[in-house]
Structure 1
Amino acid sequence: MSQQLGGQPILILKEGTNRTRGRDAQGMNITAAMAVASAVRTTLGPKGMDKMLVDTIGDVVITNDGVTILKEMDIEHPAAKMMVEVAKTQDDEVGDGTTTAVVIGGELLKKAESLLEQDVHPTVIAHGYRMA
């Protein structure tokens, strides 16, 4: 949350929250989103595996549906939450392809990370993705 006071933003963060900027923040965001993608990647294909999820009260869910897996995960990282939103949006709009949408998003971020390491500016990467 951000507010303005005399032209300077005041940030109100939860206790124990770290604020990171620049390349470190980009790297952590990409890593978090790719972790979400890799969590559901193994459910794809003819040899796709089901996931057994156990919640805090001990209820067990066995599924290979990407959006179900992501809804059951307790994700705090903002970039990782965006990957969950990708899956939810895909499920709401189409009703299928949630896992594929998340995996593609993860792969796009992986390629963007390698471009960032080559000092390609993020706006150039985003423009290229929009053109594609």
Structure 2
Amino acid sequence: MKKSVKSAFNTASSQISTILEHNELSRQIDDAMTKISDELIQNLEIYQWTKITGPLLEILAHMGKEDMSELAESLVNITSLKRKFTSSNSSDESVGGPVDVAVISKGDGFIWIKRKHYFDLLHNQPFKDKYFK
């Protein structure tokens, strides 16, 4: 996005300069366009942080393990659907199929949440040893 904004403003600046054929005025226009594009990018970054990234990180900081595992699975599924329906090349569909979900925490260690079948103590021996002695 940043490169696109910079490129568009540089192109506009050079086209205006070509039309004017006045070196000093062209330099002033180029400086003004650079300043405007920098301000636009800065405002877009502020908007992204305050409206998208910041609130999402705030929510993630307070989510439980199960909610995070559901979110992770949903993001994988959304990515799979996006690639499936927006790409004409089938080799771009690199995400999809059944999704395994696991949670790793300090207290519990590695725990399967979804492993193409329901939670099974046979697949979670450290968990079983810790809680069912």
The verdict on a shared fold, with TM-score over 0.5 as the criterion, is no
**RCO higher in structure (CA 8 A, sep ≥6):** 1
Normalised TM-score (structure 2): 0.29
